[in-house]
Chains A and B, each alone.
Chain A
Amino acid sequence: MPPFIELRKVTKTYPTLQQETLLALQDISFEVGQGEFVSVVGASGCGKTTLLKIVAGLIPYEGEVRIGGEPVKGPRQDIGFVFQQPVLLPWRTVLENVLLPIEVMGLERSHYEKRARDILQTVGLAEFVDKYPFELSGGMQQRVSITRALVYEPDVLLMDEPFGALDAMTREALNLELLRIWRESQKTVLFVTHSISEAIFLSDRVVALTPRPGKIADTLTVNLPRPRRLETIQTQEFGRLAKHIRSLLGIGEEAGGIE
């Protein structure tokens, strides 16, 4: 698999109000192959969002990030970003929210409107096309936000804990939906989560980050057969991987805080 997203010694320091600096990420190097699904997992505050925003070209960084061989110097229109919150515009209907990137990018609306409706149908929002965000549940809003990132057919999907705020049942359903969309579209996905089992369940590879400053603890390959099913979680291999990541992140067997 040729590398599509490449990170070399990426470091990020934030200035703080106390005239100090906060080292959020240190020497992060890894690659994501074309069409690969890679997850980044780590505790809250370890720099996951920071990492995704660097790849998306939204914040400055030290080191080297390349997408398709080109250095990342700013936002690119071949990236779809799903934020930690849905960030929908409350005065726009579901369909208008989904078509926002099309308007901004000046693409042909009629073509993409059909595509938008199709994706909304597959994520189970066909009846909510003309509703406003305040009429939707949190899970539905997040599905709108995912549709908005898919509609303009970006090659890369960057997802920041898109299901973090959802209950376990909705989360499982959306995980399966996401895998189906990924299989059909063959996008390159970089997925951020603090849930170890979600990371394993979805990914080809998992990058585990240490707590502040975020450094790579290990990168492991998930050799579970696809398509994945919910039963996959019960397999021995799944348990072994989860245990390994937990030990990497320095979390005891019984300790809570992270799944």
Chain B
Amino acid sequence: MKGMAKGPDRWWGGLLKAEWLYSLGLFVILMGAWELLVRYLEVPFYLVPAPSGVLVALKEGFSEGLTSRVGFYLHTYYTLGEALAGFVIGSGSGIILGTLIAQSRFLGKVFVPYLVAFQSLPKVALAPLLVVWFGVGMTSKIVIVAMLTFFPLLVNSIAGFESVDRDVLEMMRSLRATRWQMFVKVRFPSALPFIFAGLSMAIVYSLIGAIVGEFIGGRYGLGIMITQMSSTMDMEGIFSVFVVLSLIGIALYLIMRSIERRVVFWTSRSRDVIGL
């Protein structure tokens, strides 16, 4: 990060590592307890799998070839592709429309009632309809993801532009800054922290959207894997997909936050090392 002292960073880094260690320890204990409970109570494997069984399923899934339909790689490729494409399209258009609306009170007044109405709609309810319209391929999933990620970015960018410090605008006015200069030098950078908060939210939604879309129908994707496995009661397989999904989710979120920390380095959220 730009302009930060090295010392405190390293110190926090040390503390952070210690905390990770505790988290890991807790994880091991929980898994152990789960394993013991499942074995001791003789829970049927088709209801709740044992962690050891999930681990085996994970190993199998990862040792399959890149194009195997029973391995993780092919399905991850599709799910991730849908999530990222939808994320870029949805959040991109959310930022652009939000930015335009925020530039004019008139546009704001005209659009906001519709946006509020749309936002309160449970958009995943539209998923079956979208599959009818766009088919069972990747397109319908991308559309669902785009719809889910559009609103957080639209709302957050409008809020971001409204958050601009009035004193800063007055200072710019005292220098006779043009509207464009105000936008580029003050309004847009002020909105960026809000936009990034929206992106961190949207990246998580994007994975949810892709999975929901796949549940409705399709040929490839981790959501398809789950539907197929539940028809054969393969609980260990389903849980192994859960694990893969959470790993992807965590990775996407962390990548987003590290970009955020670099771009909007001046916010307290970015400077707080502990807060993921």
Residues of A whose CB lies within 8 Å of any CB of B are 56, 58, 74-77, 79, 81, 83, 85, 87, 89-91, 93, 100-101, 103-105, 130-135
Contact = CB atoms under 8 A, between A and B. Distances in A.
Contacts of B271: 134
B261 to A, nearest CB: 13
A85 B266 contact: no
Contacts of A133: 266
A207 to B, nearest CB: 22
Nearest to B266: A90
B186 interface: yes
Contact of B171 (A76, A77, A83, A131): A83
A89 B177 CA distance: 15
Interface of B: 2-3, 165, 167-168, 170-177, 181, 185-186, 189, 264-267, 271
B166 to A, nearest CB: 10
A81 to B, nearest CB: 5
Nearest to A56: B174
A133 B271 CA distance: 13
Given A83-B167, A89-B185, A91-B266, A104 B172 contact: yes
Given A75-B173, A83-B167, A87-B167, A131 B3 contact: yes
Residue of B2, B176, B264, B271 most packed against chain A (CB within 10 A): B176
A35 B189 CA distance: 38
Contacts of A134: 266, 271
Nearest to B271: A134
Contacts of B176: 74-77, 104-105
Contact of A87 (B168, B181, B264, B267): B168
19 contacts: A58-B174, A76-B176, A77-B175, A77-B176, A81-B174, A83-B170, A87-B168, A87-B170, A87-B171, A89-B168, A89-B185, A89-B186, A89-B189, A90-B267, A91-B266, A103-B181, A103-B185, A104-B172, A105-B176
Contact of A104 (B3, B165, B167, B181): B181
Contacts of B167: 83, 85, 87
A81 B176 CA distance: 12
Residue of B167, B171, B186 most packed against chain A (CB within 10 A): B171
A76 B175 CA distance: 7
Nearest to B5: A135
